[in-house]
Structure formats: C-alpha cells, structure tokens
Amino acid sequence: MSSSKQGCNDREALVWLDGALVPASQARISPFDRGFLFGDGVYEVVRFFGGVGIGLDLHVARLGASLAQLRIPSVDPTCLRTISRALLTANDLTDAAIYLQISRGTAQVRSHIPPAHMKPTIFAAATPCGGLDELERITTVHCAAARDERWLRCAIKSTSLLGSVLPMVEHSASGAEEVILIRNGMVSEGTSTNVFVEVNGVLATPPVEGEPSILHGVMRTRLLEACIRDGVPCAVQSITEAQLHASREILVTASKRMYSAVTRLGDRAVGDGSIGPLARRAHAALLKHLRQEVAVGAVGAVGAVGAIGAVGAVGAIGAVGATAPILAR
C-alpha cells in the first residue's frame, strides 16, 4: 500500500505517550524531562511493510541492551512490539516507520545525578512510508567524510545526537545528504547509517565491537544475511580511510532509509558515479530477503527471523570474520 493512500488524512495523527494514544497536538512532556535537559534516553526506529516490522526481534534486543547500559531497568523492551501495533492500528497504517523514545523520566530539580526510582517517559509516533515495492529502485546518496568526534559509547542508541548533527550541519551546504565518519584513520559509520565499502571486490563493513565502536545496525545485519545467502561477497573487517576514498562502491544502510548506493563522496564521484554491480547484487539479495521476512510475518509466524534462517546466517557470518552473536557485531 502506498504511503499516500494509507492513514486517516482527514484527522490528526495519534501518538503514544506514557501508556495512552493521544492526538499529537495534545501530547505534553515536562520541560524537566531528562530527555530534554540531558539527552538522557534511548530510541529505536522500526520500518514496517504490510504491518510487519523488519528485524523487530533485533530492534527489541538492541533496545533492551541500550536500556541496560543506561541503567533504566523498569521498562520492558518488548513494549516496542505492542506500542508499534497500537500506533499502526490507531493511525490506519501498514507501511510506516515507528519512532520510539524512552527517557529516564522527569525530576523537579535539574541534577546530573538522577533520583532513584524515576518513572521513564515513553513516547512513540508513526510516520507513513512507502511500501516494499518502492524499494525495487535503488536510491543514491551524496556523502561527505569527516572526523568522528562523537563519544565512545556508540553501541548505545542514545538520544544524545549532537555529535551526529554537527557534521551534517557542516557538510549539508555542499550537497551532502550523509556524512561518513572517520576516527583515527578508520571508518566508523555514518551519522545515521552503517557503511559498506567495496575492498578488493568484497563488500566490507566495520565490526561492531572493534575500534571505533559502532551501532548494532539492524539493516546492516539484514544486508549481511542476504549477501551470505545469495553468494554476494561480503566481510566484517576494519576499513581504513584510504580504502574508503579508493573504493569503487560504497553503500549505506539504516532502518528508515533501508539501503542507498553512495555515488559521490565529497567532491569526487564514487567509481563512475553510477550504481555499481556489487550494489545491484546486494540490493537484489536484500529485497528478496525482506520480501521473505514480510511474507512470513504476514501469515502470523512467530519469530520470523528464525523462520528464514537467522541461525544459519549467524554461522555464515562467522565464516567472514565475526565470532560473536549477531547483535554483537
């Protein structure tokens, strides 16, 4: 279903706030909320096609890991499932992106040390998006490269995103739609994406637990699984800045963007400035993988990831250089 044909366009969108669905204009969050004052919170973005959340199990697991690292123990990360379903139903959506944010909560006195036993603030909203058929066309993106000056805990999907906003502010004037970050001469990730770089004919992506640390990207995992299943050469390995600039193909992935080929990096074309053969092969594999996941989810199968071979993918990814479970890469 096209995003232009779904949703109730004649009424205001409903959002989720602390256990209730409310019109967006009526949602109220205290100015003393620590998410506002400190960026003290975490978030997830899940893309839904036909009412099926892509990689939803992985999003739930990552949300739980982020909450644990922030020591916000009172929220069950599986709430992402029920809140997403409530928002899709209430807004008459099937193809959408769900944004969920959890802050530590509100205290009446601003202090770096949070009070004990705070009640977290949970907010979520649905944005209509295109259907799976729209992914058949590969999107392209102009990127820049910049020094990674963010904090060292990038595996936490934190709402403190100033380190990602500043490079975009700096480089967007030159036409860049994303910035690939470099730390100590090594590629980390984009400001809002994971990065794949062609190195000697192989699509390589940096390891999650390497140096620099990067986010456990759900679409990064899905692309690796798809490439392995369809025989597209891929690897989990460190990537140097020199390899990035010399590469003939660069890809970026994210849960809302899904998949884009980088055709320009800074002031130069990547390869010949068009979508390359590895990008086309990887895209075809990914689209097939996503269609299978949506089909399994649509018939009500529990654990769609397992049903389409995640266990096998874990072992296969280990063969290209990763030894930890899928979310630890």
Measuring CA to CA, which residue among 123, 254, 69 is closest to residue 178? Answer: 254
Pull the structure tokens for residue 163. Answer: 């380190």
Q: Is 263 in a helix, a strand, or coil?
A: strand
Q: Which residue matches tokens 């594999």?
A: 285
Pull the structure tokens for residue 258. Answer: 């899904």
- Helices then strands (H, E): number in the chain? 9, 15
Q: Is 119 a catalytic residue?
A: no
The rounded distance, in Å, linking the Cα atoms of 298 and 229 is: 22
Q: What is the number of alpha carbons within 13 Å of residue 261 lying toward its C-beta?
A: 26
The rounded distance, in Å, linking the Cα atoms of 308 and 228 is: 13
Q: Choosing from 5, 119, 157, 256, which is the catalytic residue? A: 157
The rounded distance, in Å, linking the Cα atoms of 133 and 320 is: 31
**Distance linking the first and last C-alpha atoms of the chain:** 34
Question: Quick one: residue 51, left, alpha or beta (phi over 0 = left, psi -120 to 50 = alpha)?
Answer: left
- Written as one letter, the residue type at 185 is G
Instruction: Give yes or no for a contact between 35 and 104, defined as CB atoms under 8 angstroms apart.
Output: yes
Which positions are annotated as active-site residues? 157
